[in-house]
Structure 1
Amino acid sequence: MRIFKRRRSVVDPIAGFWTWWEETGAQLVADAIARKEPGSISGMLAEHVNAIHGGLDWELGPGLHAEHTLVVTAAGDPATRAVARRWLRSAPPSDHLWEYADLRRPSPEVTIQFEGMPPVASDDALVTIEPDERAAAVHVGVHHPVFAQVSEDVQRRITFLLLDLSLGEEMTETWIGAVETLVERPAGTVPISELLPTVAAFAAAFTTEDGNPTWRLLEGFVDGQRLIATTEVPLRSIRLPHLDTHVGVTIGYPAGREDGLPDAEMLDQLRNLEDHLTSRLGDSGRLLAHETIAGARTLHYYVDGSTPAPAQLEAATSGWPHGEVTLTTARDPGWQNLSHLGS
């Protein structure tokens, strides 16, 4: 009679992908591209990508610094972006043959072709551009002559493909706000080639000299109590897609002012605790906002849910002598827990 059973080893699907890729996959795919037969390996590559997560898409293209690039992307789904980013963070170093990305790069001046549909030349597109500093977004309208020949659903698909081709997936998701599909050409349109430099200049105004996002101060009242909040701008999860878990750390303190906010001495101690918590996370998390009201300061951290970051934050709060500290943790890949704070 068997008493002990051999335990099956569980293979991390991301590690499994890269093992296959380094052993045989990279050369097989490169050889297929060299023969101008990339379709011959599409089924095999799709099988290995889908083994990581069924919601991932992939594509091949020329590299910026290598001959080829392999892109594995969540295709706009916030719930899957963390998986794609973890795939990228586990990638081998780029070499002369391959480099890797988890977001689609700009590819202007191409022709989109759907089966049974007329070709769509991207450089025939026209756009309206409306910068909105308060929303930290650029609102756009997109017109293409082909829109009059296709259904509304196809119009929308083409619209977002044109934006991704012009700006790349990251810039589109980060900085584009409202999007309107324009069947009729309105006044004030410009060639879509003008969109990238306009959005890049707009984004620069929200970026510090060292490349970090700027912060915005917000003030208001909740149930008659004064509220002060500060947030990174913009609050868009595609910037840090691997940070898919919200940890709210609410720190009680004795209100030293009539409006319920901390006095100068207490504010220094709160900031010291904040620095201590942030330093414990390293690149496993980031403080994106905090709110202070009526004797409580809430720090909004987003962390990599595949790491022990939530437990690290909880351990680091022990010993705060000025009030109760509570933590709430929730998976939130779209950063919806910050939606009340704006952009």
Structure 2
Amino acid sequence: MRLFGRRDEPAPDPAGGITEFWAWWAQARPDLDAMVAAGEAERLAEWIGPAVLVVHPSLVWEIAPGLAAGQALVVTSAGDPELRPVAHRWAAAAPPADASWEFHPSRKANPHAMDLTLDVGGYEFALDKLVLGLRVPHGRPRVDVVAHHPIFTLLDDETRTEAALLALDWLLGEDDVARWVGDISAAAYQPIDAVPAVHLPGVVADLASGYRDEQWALLEGETPSGARLIATARYPLRPVDHPLFDQHIAITLPYAHRDAEGLPEGSSLEALRDFEERLAGRISRMDGRAVLAAHMSADGQRVLHVYADPVSEAAAHAKELVVSWEEGRPRVDVAADPGWIAVSPFLT
């Protein structure tokens, strides 16, 4: 498995770069197949690297064994939420997989991970010798991992951490690492409660089983001015579950009836619930192209945070719905937010 990327260069337009990449791929495919057949890995890198660079200079790519095809071309954001939509749009524009090539926007779990060995710093890094200390903090939908391998005593912190991260991607797949793994550290010495790495997928599957149904969390806080704030957010809330939803739609609804702390009550509370139900109805008819992530109420207004695929009509639906709002002047603000920064306090 070969891993390539990144360069700190000005980013091109991803949409144009994606189109250019696949046009190049169609022309270069016979030569690329010949390089694979001849085992010319370095030459393959010289061809594919510049083509991926055109999509975005900070994407990481690698060629890995395919799940069904002979090999997979993986172009990934390597955990960068700002780049995840670019990688997924690249994969969505790919030609159909065939016997030779398949295409993925993130590393997939390798079913033969425990048989893998690679060179790390001149030492053999065999996954069957990797052990993990695992801890699930109370109330958190994540497992914290402390990784140890016999060669870690011979490596610097950065190198062993990179090796541990790659091993987790092989064991779980990159997306499930983003979903379910919390703090990650690579230790020079074995944790007291360490278990063989082969058990990690089972632990994660058990954790994930508790979050199959839709759940919401109710949170309280204060605004910068000290006013009470009530928020409701999906739980868990993670951009990795909606990789193409990089358009943020903030719907601000002022309400007329509020209590002494500025929170909605009476007919205003009923009107807000009715609006949210109508919004949810619109979203449900959009073929999974938008999601209501959270809403917050404070100081006489509620802000609903919707994330959507920009090619959807979610923003148009929001602007149509607010026309019917009668308690003050509503507002709809639309902006690109691939990292879900607007709801970052609620991300889990």
| TM-score, scaled relative to structure 2 | 0.83
1:319 matched to which residue of 2? 324
Contact 2:247–2:337 under 8 Å retained in 1: yes
Which residues of structure 1 form unaligned runs of 5+? 1-10, 209-213
Q: 1:44 & 1:342 partners in 2: Cα distance? A: 38
Q: 1:71 & 1:155 partners in 2: Cα distance? A: 23
Q: Kindly indicate whether residue 24 of structure 2 is the aligned counterpart of residue 25 of structure 1.
A: no
1:49 matched to which residue of 2? 52
1:191 matched to which residue of 2? 196
User: Could you say if the C-alpha distance between residues 105 and 314 of structure 1 is closer, same or farther in structure 2, counting changes exceeding 3 Å?
Assistant: same
Q: Which of 135, 143, 159 is the equivalent residue of 1:138? A: 143
Q: What's the CA shift string for 1:125-176, capped at 9, x where partnerless?
A: 1101111352221111111111111112212212212211221111111111
User: Could you say if the C-alpha distance between residues 79 and 215 of structure 1 is closer, same or farther in structure 2, counting changes exceeding 3 Å?
Assistant: same
Aligned ranges for residues 302-317 of structure 1 at < 5 Å?
302-305=307-310, 309-310=314-315, 313-317=318-322
What amino acid is the match of 1:63? Answer: G
1:234 matched to which residue of 2? 236
1:6 matched to which residue of 2? none
1:211 matched to which residue of 2? none
* Aligned-residue offset at 1:280: 7.4
Q: 1:62 & 1:306 partners in 2: Cα distance? A: 33
User: Could you say if the C-alpha distance between residues 267 and 80 of structure 1 is closer, same or farther in structure 2, counting changes exceeding 3 Å?
Assistant: closer
1:220 matched to which residue of 2? 220
Q: Which of 75, 79, 86 is the equivalent residue of 2:78? A: 75
What amino acid is the match of 2:20? Answer: G
Q: What's the CA shift string for 1:71-95, capped at 9, x where partnerless?
A: 1111222221111111111122223
What amino acid is the match of 1:334? Answer: G
Contact 2:283–2:314 under 8 Å retained in 1: no
Q: Which of 129, 133, 151 is the equivalent residue of 1:128? A: 133
Q: 2:347 & 2:78 partners in 1: Cα distance? A: 24
2:166 matched to which residue of 1? 161
* Aligned-residue offset at 1:99: 1.9
1:201 matched to which residue of 2? 206
Q: What's the CA shift string for 1:264-305, capped at 9, x where partnerless?
A: 642442223422553575544321112234542221112335
SS of 2:215's equivalent? Answer: strand
Contact 2:255–2:301 under 8 Å retained in 1: yes
* Aligned-residue offset at 1:261: 2.8
Q: 2:122 & 2:169 partners in 1: Cα distance? A: 20
Which moves more between the two structures, 86-95 or 120-129? Answer: 86-95
Across the aligned residues of Structure 1 and Structure 2, the Cα RMSD in angstroms comes to 2.7
Overall identity of the aligned pairs, in %: 30
Aligned ranges for residues 283-302 of structure 1 at < 5 Å?
283-302=288-307
Which residues of structure 2 form unaligned runs of 5+? 1-14
1:94 matched to which residue of 2? 97
* Aligned-residue offset at 1:52: 0.9
User: Could you say if the C-alpha distance between residues 133 and 19 of structure 1 is closer, same or farther in structure 2, counting changes exceeding 3 Å?
Assistant: farther
Which moves more between the two structures, 221-230 or 101-110? Answer: 221-230
Task: Tell me how many residue pairs correspond in the alignment.
Answer: 327
Q: Which of 60, 65, 74 is the equivalent residue of 2:63? A: 60
Q: 1:278 & 1:117 partners in 2: Cα distance? A: 53
* Aligned-residue offset at 1:256: 6.5
* Aligned-residue offset at 1:335: 1.8
Q: Kindly indicate whether residue 5 of structure 2 is the aligned counterpart of residue 16 of structure 1.
A: no
User: Could you say if the C-alpha distance between residues 188 and 127 of structure 1 is closer, same or farther in structure 2, counting changes exceeding 3 Å?
Assistant: same
1:278 matched to which residue of 2? 283
Which moves more between the two structures, 98-107 or 223-232? Answer: 223-232
SS of 1:113's equivalent? Answer: strand
| TM-score, scaled relative to structure 1 | 0.85
Contact 2:132–2:191 under 8 Å retained in 1: no
Contact 2:146–2:191 under 8 Å retained in 1: no
